[in-house]
Structure 1
Amino acid sequence: MARIRPRGNGPQGLPGISVTGRRAGTFCLLLIAALCVQATRVQVFEARRLDHNSANQRLTVERYSQPRGNILVGADTVTGSARTGGRYDYKRTYTDGPLYAAVTGFASQGYGNTQLEGIEDDLLTGADSRLAGWAVWDAVSRGQNPGGDVYTTLDRAAQEAAMRGLGSQKGAVAAIEPATGRILALASTPSYDPGSFAGSSSADQTAWNRLQSDADQPMLNRALRQTYPPGSTFKVVTAAAALASGVVTDVDAPTAAPYPYVLPGTTTPLVNDTTACDRPGLSLDTAMVSSCNSVLGYLGVQTGQDGVVAMAEGFGFNDARLDMPVRPARSNVDTTMDQSQVALSSIGQFDTAATPLVMAMVAAGIANNGTVMRPQLVDKLTRSDDTVVRRMKPAIYRQAITPEVAGQVQRLMTDVVDNGTGRGARIGGAVVGGKTGTAQHGVDNSGTPYAWFISWAKPAGSDAVPPVAVAVVIADSDATDVTGGALAAPIARSVMQAVLGR
């Protein structure tokens, strides 16, 4: 009987694997390895790029699949969310949208987000890692956290007073609590309704296009993103520099300022807006009360470029990273000038330009005895259940001047309101310090002047730091008297009254 031999050479008589089979198995293993490498590359190394690819709508759909967290003023929400019934479940809504647009910015399904809506987007959408509960479970479930809330530092009464005062004029208001840097009001006019284009419909697109083509630029944040020559309000900075450097030691003593004062290196006299300034040797106090260009231009030159620039930078000029947390435009004072340009810069002209926020910091720093606090727009960030994620604390920005010098400048500013160009800011039962400004601009100064006023106020008899400092600029008005005292001072007064009467 013939023996049956096993096929192949496998051990213990098991069937063997042919060469073809081994090759097929090896090829399959290589395919599996290649798939693993590719999956790792896509899911790990390419994940972020793919997540943010404009063609990937998953994150956008997820972003609007739940209500967005809110922005609050005091205890009141000024934003909300509404069901759309469309591809995106929810869209942003706004309570009194134009009133707070300069603060909230917008959150739009079609056009992105700005201001606090943009800076705090991760928190508001629930994507912020600080909102996570149990990290392991969140990773497994891939669940979306509810959006957190942003509490602002705004004072509703001050904000309403600012917008009401600006009315239909082009302009802006910034109000600060000097001792803390908390922003009490931030207004820009004309304003806009950020809810009008929050969705993705044709009506939203129409509203957006209309705003973009509006010649009055309602979406321009004039309080933060636009700089203007500050005019005579900058004389507060120049006066502080002259006192700090010792060029002036007594605000009531005659100075060596000549009249007329001819700009150094030129034959051009620096003219004044009133004949009260047209005599030599005026004191610094008289020069501030009457807003004398010739005296402050002369004192700026005597102080020197470095002294004036250093003082301006102490209040926030030339700082391109003044985040609060929104980043404003950089306020400018040149660092390379000849003496005639220093004279012009010292009265807020030449290339000197400032945002209303930085000019409010000037007033606040003087009011706070020379200590400039970092401006702060957010009070705290919370989860949806109101537990605090982060609470902001006051922080010193710079010590611009000594308390002694600050006290002298405070005296100058109160005299401006009591006896000079700032009378329109007087408040019964309060001590008010201020400085007017009317800044020329345009080709051959042909543009409508910018009307400025910066100020601070406190209850009469109080030794505490004033609770409010304000900067107002009117960039365009139909008024016949376009001066800081006529247009801007009454607005500042109403904002300060709102805070003092709180």
Structure 2
Amino acid sequence: MNAPIRRLSFVVALLFASLLVSTTLIQFVYAKDLNARPDNRRTLLSSYARERGQILVGDTAIAKSVPASNEYKWLRTYPGGTQYAHITGYYSFYGAGGGLEQAENGLLSGSSDKLAFRRVSDFFTGRKTVGASLELTIDSRVQAAAIKGLDGRKGAAVALNPSTGEILAMVSNPGYNPATLSGHDLSKVDTAYKALNADPEKPLINRTIGGDLYPPGSTFKIVTAAAALSSGRFQPDTELPGPAVLDLPQTTVGLPNIGKRSCGPDDKTTFLHAMEISCNSAFGYLGLELGADALRDQAAKFGVGDQLSIPMRVTPSSVPAELNQPQLAQSAVGQYDVRVTPLQVAMLSAAVANHGTVMRPHLVRSVLSSDLSVIERATPEELSEAVTPEVAAQLTEMMEAVVENGSGKPAQIDGVRVAGKTGTAETDRVQRAHAWFTGFAPANDPQIAVAVVVENGGDPDSEARGGGAVGGPIAKAMIEAGLK
């Protein structure tokens, strides 16, 4: 063989070797990354070839797939519409986004390792593999009451079963219609997504568990009160200073009460009465007496700072790591840089209702197969002990007084003992304050705990006209729905 032929043979052999190497790399080394590429149309279409599992509230599907007479095979629909949007999220040609569609995509699509045995069984029996369905803990009546209460107002509402951690309602307003993001007309889907992303009201954000978080205002006094009672130095009848403005060390700016009024004769008040009327100066005093470490430790026992999954990821609530004396007093009344989710505030009330034990919140009661048999069922799980049962009983007494005689009167329910706490959280000098209410009922046999926040809906000059008047009626309606 002459030299030119040998060189040609070598080049041809090298090309074949390169082809084999590249094919091997594509099929085995890079296959996972290529399949995961967002622009891989074949992979995206294959995800539509399998029926996706349902998301159920009771026996009602709030998300399900229906057959489509085109290349997509299935269309994801949302019979629950906007009222469950932040719970379901959406599923489109571009993938799962938000809510359970994203957090439990593996189960709903049928690709989860938990369903491996079922996929093998389907292979040998010839059955079509279908994604698992999710049965939720949501109570449709409580959800509807929260939606009606927040109608037309930005904010969020959450309800929990105190003894199990089941989430009974989760509403974020404004919302959106997930159906606009799940259609097969990709140009319309793209337009809708861009419009929702550009909306200054941020409808895609689930305010109950994420976003920018909120200052809790006076609802955080539950934490301060818990720390004070747990210290053994204070009782509900302990006398506290309650001047119109509390002098703070290291600054000429004091901590004022709403309306700059004294909380009692001779600038004195009892601990219980301070909670009842939401006295800032008394609680600022308690914060200074307890110290920053005690306040942070107590907040942590309620779950503040925990990385929670419900299964959507919950943005951790927080108390600043470094606090000087004025900042400590402000933090004790839920201001300065304390930030919380409405879910966390509901957990405060739920812990008090559950004799001091915080239960891990969860949204999925059961994972079901295509024939609705149970694959996996959630079990209640203790997260922490926030306070002792004795302290929880004292807090319950104080929170009942808030609703019976204080700033929470709008949450009163005939024949039902309601325990609660109002909050009016200032954000800046331009916007109105956020209006908060959190509580539980019946106080003597707790079955539901709630938290409501209405953005910029409160009166900064009145706790009763703020959290009480705005958040109280919404919480009342949710509690009444949950007790039916």
Q: Normalising by the residue count of structure 1, what TM-score does the alignment of the two structures yield?
A: 0.88
Q: Structure 1: any 5+ residue segments left out of the alignment?
A: 1-22
The 1:160/1:430 distance shift into structure 2, 3 A limit, reads same
Q: Higher mean Cα deviation, 134-143 or 488-497?
A: 134-143
Structure 1 residue 218: Cα displacement: 1.8
Task: Give the corresponding residue for 1:306.
Answer: 293
**Letter of the structure 1 residue corresponding to residue 431 of structure 2:** G
Structure 1 residue 324: Cα displacement: 1.2
CA distance in 2, matches of 1:439, 1:55: 45
CA distance in 1, matches of 2:152, 2:121: 53
Q: Higher mean Cα deviation, 219-228 or 23-32?
A: 23-32
Task: Give the corresponding residue for 1:224.
Answer: 209
Number of residue equivalences: 477
1:186 aligns with 2:170: yes
Task: Give the corresponding residue for 1:318.
Answer: 305
Report the RMSD for the aligned CA atoms in angstroms: 3.0
Residue 328 of structure 2 aligns to a residue whose secondary structure is helix
Task: Give the corresponding residue for 1:280.
Answer: 267
Structure 1 residue 367: Cα displacement: 0.7
**Letter of the structure 2 residue corresponding to residue 500 of structure 1:** L
CA distance in 1, matches of 2:245, 2:314: 39
CA distance in 2, matches of 1:342, 1:266: 13
1:337 aligns with 2:320: no
**Letter of the structure 2 residue corresponding to residue 469 of structure 1:** A
Task: Give the corresponding residue for 1:95.
Answer: 79
Q: Percent identity?
A: 40
Aligned counterpart for 1:161 among listed residues 141, 145, 170: 145
Q: Higher mean Cα deviation, 432-441 or 125-134?
A: 125-134
Structure 1 residue 84: Cα displacement: 4.0
Is the Cα contact below 8 Å between 1:159 and 1:186 reproduced in 2? yes
CA distance in 2, matches of 1:382, 1:134: 12
The 1:135/1:153 distance shift into structure 2, 3 A limit, reads closer
The 1:83/1:203 distance shift into structure 2, 3 A limit, reads farther
**Letter of the structure 2 residue corresponding to residue 237 of structure 1:** V
**Letter of the structure 2 residue corresponding to residue 483 of structure 1:** G
**Letter of the structure 2 residue corresponding to residue 123 of structure 1:** L
Residue 358 of structure 2 aligns to a residue whose secondary structure is strand
CA distance in 2, matches of 1:467, 1:230: 23
Q: How does 1:115-264 map to 2 (within 5 A)?
A: 115-133=99-117, 145-201=129-185, 202-226=187-211, 227-248=213-234, 250-256=235-241, 260-264=245-249
The 1:31/1:211 distance shift into structure 2, 3 A limit, reads closer
Q: Normalising by the residue count of structure 2, what TM-score does the alignment of the two structures yield?
A: 0.91
**Letter of the structure 1 residue corresponding to residue 312 of structure 2:** V
**Letter of the structure 1 residue corresponding to residue 288 of structure 2:** V
CA distance in 2, matches of 1:258, 1:423: 24
CA distance in 1, matches of 2:308, 2:119: 34
Aligned counterpart for 1:296 among listed residues 283, 304, 307: 283
1:492 aligns with 2:472: no
CA distance in 2, matches of 1:317, 1:457: 23
Structure 1 residue 193: Cα displacement: 0.6
Residue 431 of structure 1 aligns to a residue whose secondary structure is coil
CA distance in 1, matches of 2:233, 2:255: 20
Is the Cα contact below 8 Å between 2:38 and 2:94 reproduced in 1? no
Is the Cα contact below 8 Å between 1:318 and 1:330 reproduced in 2? yes
Q: Higher mean Cα deviation, 108-117 or 24-33?
A: 24-33
Q: Higher mean Cα deviation, 253-262 or 181-190?
A: 253-262
Q: How does 1:263-412 map to 2 (within 5 A)?
A: 263-274=248-259, 275=261, 277=263, 279-319=266-306, 321-412=307-398
Task: Give the corresponding residue for 1:67.
Answer: 51
Q: Higher mean Cα deviation, 144-153 or 156-165?
A: 144-153
Is the Cα contact below 8 Å between 2:366 and 2:375 reproduced in 1? yes
